[in-house]
Chains A and B, each alone.
Chain A
Amino acid sequence: MHSSALLQMRDICKRYPGVQALSDAALDVRAGEVHVLLGENGAGKSTLMKILSGAVRRDAGDILLDGTAVDIPDPASARRLGISTIYQELSLVPHLTVAENIFLGKAPTRWPGIVDWTAMRRDAARILESLGVSIDPDTPVSTLRLAQQQMVEIARALSDAARILIMDEPTSALSQREVAQLFDTIARLTSSGVAVVYISHRMEEVFRIGQRVTVLRDGCHIATRNIGEVSVPELVRLMADREVSDHYPRRTNRRGEELLRVNGLVAGGLHDVSLVLYRGEVLGIAGLVGAGRTRLARAIIGADPVERGTIAIGGRTIGIDSPARAARERIGFLPEDRKQHGLVLGLSVERNVSMSHLHALSRFGMMDRHAERREAEDAIGKLSIRTPTASQLVLNLSGGNQQKVVLAKWLAAQAEILIFDEPTRGIDVAARHDIYLLINAVVAAGAGVIMISSDLPEVIGMSDRVLVMRGGSITAEFSSESVTDAAVLHAALGVAS
């Protein structure tokens, strides 16, 4: 293959106050390729992409498009140059319709200032169809599931006639089927000459769709290789400068007595769900996005109202009507969206950790600040949370360390039932391994873990039992000996194996 360089970024430097985010970073992308950008969190991938998309300005370095030096001072310039971004955090306007979002800021007009609604709906429908998704262009975005919203986001980028599409973890919220659909779309795009810069932590995806890969580490360009000429261990070594051999660390403990029993739970989107969780086990819950897994977790902790059904802890039936009650019953929830639901980003590590059990840390309503500090420092040591002090604001931590803070919050509250929803979403390979080890340690200490995950290898590799949900019900259960990717997928899709 001898296609010329569409985009070249050379010697890119960017300094934030106190942090050298990029030093001599480089990237060259050819037309029609999927170019994977790899690196641990904090390696500079996001900063490099922000520079390319005009969200931040570089301090030094050259950007060449078709061999010509260009300046990208703002996102509008990037779009004019044919560079579009699908962000990890979706950037849609919730109350506007799908069509309005796709054509936000560039609505087709009949006369100046008068929107041509017919054309807009028609064009939106055409783009969505080319993506292979069935979403009504008149639906408000706020009523769509996360996966569908992402499709709208992609449709919006396509409507810009993009030549370079930047995708930051585009599959992290998608089900297997939706991932396949997305990959089809990407293949179609690249065959028409569009280049895709693809950021992902999922190695199997890298090898499935990438042609070349560039690895960044500590803001520097480390290597660019053809995908056919590298192996997973080699890439991981380039990223982390160390071998991460054991993908899913083993446990040796036995399962203990019954901890949680959910019986005939009926709630919004849940039909007659029953399950049992024992001490010392990881109970995996697999299923497609929208199968009701998060709803089940939220119903168990009392975050959403329950119509029927009972919940028993240690054989004792209790009514959980609020997350506060669940916390008292030592049930901890680690939500999928840590920034929205798991953490108060503007508060310190210490105050996030204490939030789950303020009363245990106080007498007559007055906080024992020494105990609070001691506990946070303990947690930082035990979970090896990378933070200079306990008073560091959580928003300054990386994704993996933020997840550890959420876990620390529940461990400090002495939670015995931990419900993880997508525990490693958006977390880099090395930090994932830490999270798995922590889950194992928690289970070894006698707690029970429910692990909701869309990452099939993860849920299979980590769980003692796997439940599969579909359409708000549990449709299958597998032991760790009998479980296979194919069997779980069949149960999740509802097709015979």
Chain B
Amino acid sequence: MTSGSATRPRLRAQRSRQIGTFAGLVVLCVVLWAATPHFLTISNLLNVLEQTSINAIVAVGMTFVIISGGIDLSVGSVLAVAGIALALALEGRAPAPAAIILALATGTACGLANGLLITFGRLPPFIATLGMMSVARGAALMLAEGRPISGFSEGFRALATARVLTIVPAPVLLTAVVYLVAHFVLNHTVFGRATYAIGGNEEAARLSGVHVRFHKTAVYGVAGLTSAVAAILLTARLNSAQPTAGTMYELDAIAATVIGGTSLLGGEGTLVGALIGALIMGVLRNGLNLLNVSSFFQQVVIGAVIIGAVLIDMSLKRRR
């Protein structure tokens, strides 16, 4: 009995988890294709991808945070305040690139504030980001004076409306770019290594010389940044920024992350999983709409899928 044979089942189990989630997505698509002719058309599939892009991008930051062993409840509110900052700048005739940078900076600043409260203030992530959820939402409402801000230039709206190569919606391309960059950061940088190490065992990481506070703060900064990216896309798509935007997005992002196999205990997880998780939720919503399922019952189905995915995941882990 060599110890090598003890390894392979584990590696296989990790990979099979990813494949399992992907298989779930494929099965879902096949079922919908059988159920309704409207599902498997190019235009509908692109529509699904476009609809999913916002949640998928928010889920990137959430994945970083959850891998580091934390949670971020403020991503939806941060999305709203970043969107309002963007809209106010555009309304004030700021050039679009400047307004975009302002929005990204706003989101990142909110995230870093979360991070500092957690690392230097020693608050549990749940509490710090719960507070930020309310603060950022309130700030968005105050800045916008409670009203939506609408009507932007064609150039800005092209971020959402443009079709690359006449067919691929710009948001889909942008989402792909965000995932590629984030994947590189998570797997090929010091920051990514530190994120996994901190989530796996924070004290061991600290005693090994990892700059835990710095990296942990930055992780929440990433979550703020991706929320702002999502805010820009959403504002461009709706041609309007609303202070109530992004409500409950934190839960969608957490759901996408855990459906993708990331453990809420931290230390493990992948962005590929989060992307598949976001797609499963997007496809499900789209399909249920096509099948004229009431929006009330849709919520029941989506909740059941989240619970089912994690149940399957946990039983796979137990068998390892």
Contact = CB atoms under 8 A, between A and B. Distances in A.
B210 A358 contact: yes
A333 B207 CA distance: 7
A392 B7 CA distance: 7
Contacts of B201: 340-341, 343-346
Interface of A: 17-20, 301, 303, 322-324, 326-328, 333, 335, 340-347, 351, 354-359, 362, 365-367, 369, 386-389, 391-393, 396, 409, 413
Contact of A367 (B2, B3, B189, B207): B189
A209 B149 CA distance: 81
A324 B319 CA distance: 38
Contacts of B320: 17
Contacts of A392: 7
Interface stretch (B91-99, B170-178, B190-198, B305-313): B190-198
A346 B200 contact: yes
Interface of B: 1-11, 188-194, 196-197, 200-201, 203-211, 267-268, 319-320
Contacts of B200: 344-347
Contact of A358 (B4, B5, B193): B193
A90 to B, nearest CB: 17
B303 to A, nearest CB: 29
A369 B184 CA distance: 12
Contacts of A342: 204, 207
Given A343-B201, A346-B267, A356 B206 contact: no
Given A17-B9, A346-B268, A362 B189 contact: yes
Given A324-B206, A366-B190, A396-B10, 20 more contacts: A17-B319, A18-B5, A18-B9, A19-B5, A20-B1, A323-B209, A324-B211, A340-B204, A341-B203, A342-B204, A344-B196, A344-B201, A344-B205, A345-B200, A347-B197, A355-B208, A355-B209, A396-B6, A396-B7, A413-B209
20 contacts: A17-B320, A19-B1, A335-B207, A340-B201, A342-B207, A344-B197, A346-B268, A351-B197, A355-B209, A356-B208, A358-B210, A365-B189, A365-B190, A365-B191, A366-B190, A367-B188, A367-B193, A388-B2, A396-B10, A409-B208
Contacts of B9: 17-18
B97 to A, nearest CB: 25
A301 B193 contact: no
A323 B207 contact: yes
A340 B200 CA distance: 10
Contacts of A391: 11
A335 B194 CA distance: 20
Interface SS of chain A:
mixed
Given A347-B200, A387-B3, A367 B190 contact: yes
Contacts of A340: 201, 203-204
A359 B194 CA distance: 11
A358 B206 contact: no
A224 B203 CA distance: 42
Given A344-B267, A396-B10, A357 B189 contact: no
A345 B190 CA distance: 19
Contacts of B6: 17-19, 396
Contacts of A358: 190, 193-194, 210
Contacts of B191: 365
B190 to A, nearest CB: 4
A362 B10 CA distance: 29
- Most B CB contacts (10 A, CB to CB) among A18, A19, A303, A356 go to A18
A413 B201 CA distance: 19
A355 B199 CA distance: 13
Contacts of A322: 206
Contacts of A327: 208-209
A351 B209 CA distance: 14
B228 to A, nearest CB: 21
Contacts of B11: 391
Q: Which 3 A-B pairs have the closest CB atoms?
A: A327-B209, A344-B200, A18-B6
A359 B190 contact: yes
A30 B189 CA distance: 59
Given A17-B320, A347-B267, A396-B10, A341 B207 contact: yes
Nearest to A18: B6
A393 B14 CA distance: 12
A170 to B, nearest CB: 25
Nearest to B202: A344
- Most A CB contacts (10 A, CB to CB) among B5, B6, B206, B209 go to B209
Given A340-B201, A388-B2, A324 B193 contact: no
- Most A CB contacts (10 A, CB to CB) among B10, B190, B204, B268 go to B204
A301 B200 CA distance: 22
A357 B7 contact: no
A13 B193 CA distance: 40
Contacts of B1: 19-20
A14 to B, nearest CB: 13
Contacts of B189: 362, 365-367
A373 to B, nearest CB: 13
Nearest to B200: A344
Contact of A389 (B7, B210, B211): B7
A333 B5 CA distance: 33
A370 B190 CA distance: 14
Contacts of A18: 5-9
A344 B211 CA distance: 15
A359 B7 CA distance: 30
A61 B11 CA distance: 31
- Most A CB contacts (10 A, CB to CB) among B9, B194, B200 go to B200
Given A323-B208, A324-B211, A327-B208, A355 B190 contact: no
Contacts of A326: 209
A157 to B, nearest CB: 27
Contacts of A365: 189-191
A358 B209 CA distance: 9
A390 B40 CA distance: 44
B196 A351 contact: yes
A356 B190 contact: no
A355 B203 CA distance: 12
A343 B193 contact: no
A51 B54 CA distance: 51
B196 to A, nearest CB: 6
Contacts of B2: 388
Contacts of B210: 324, 355, 358
A388 B7 contact: yes
A411 to B, nearest CB: 13
Contact of A301 (B8, B197, B203, B207): B207
A347 B196 contact: yes
A369 B192 CA distance: 12
B13 to A, nearest CB: 9
A366 B189 CA distance: 4
A366 B188 contact: yes
A438 B198 CA distance: 28
